[in-house]
Amino acid sequence: MKTSKRVLLMSGLLVSAAALAATEPVAWPAGAQDKQDPQVLAFYEDQCNRWADGQGLSGEQRGAYLARCRVNAAIIYPVGYAESDDGEE
């Protein structure tokens, strides 16, 4: 896929998700601090499914959307973890 198409798809995902997120309350998993915590991954999966449902997606279109969403959900809803003193996570 060309870079311009990839950027366009990513922009669409972020805009769509941000618009839907503004209307939905967000409930973080209790006690989760690590972005690879199974609770956090399940939260992202649920959010992506809710967004796909809200857009009425199905079939291949839904599958493609969910694949992109799973990769980018942490950008949209970052988990609160502290950076170390050297600036790395």
pLDDT at 32: 78
Amino acid 68 reads R
- Which residues of the chain carry a pLDDT beneath 50? 22, 81-85, 87, 89
Give 6-26 pLDDT, tens digit per residue: 555 565 665 555 555 545 556
* Residue burial 47-86, b: 16+ Cβ < 10 Å; e: rest: bbeebbeeeebeeeebeebbebbeebbeebeebeeeeeee
Please give the angle made by the CA atoms of 36, 4 and 65, to the nearest 5 degrees. Answer: 45
pLDDT at 66: 96
* Packing angle of the helix pair 59-76, 3-21 (nearest 10 deg): 70
pLDDT at 78: 79
pLDDT at 71: 87
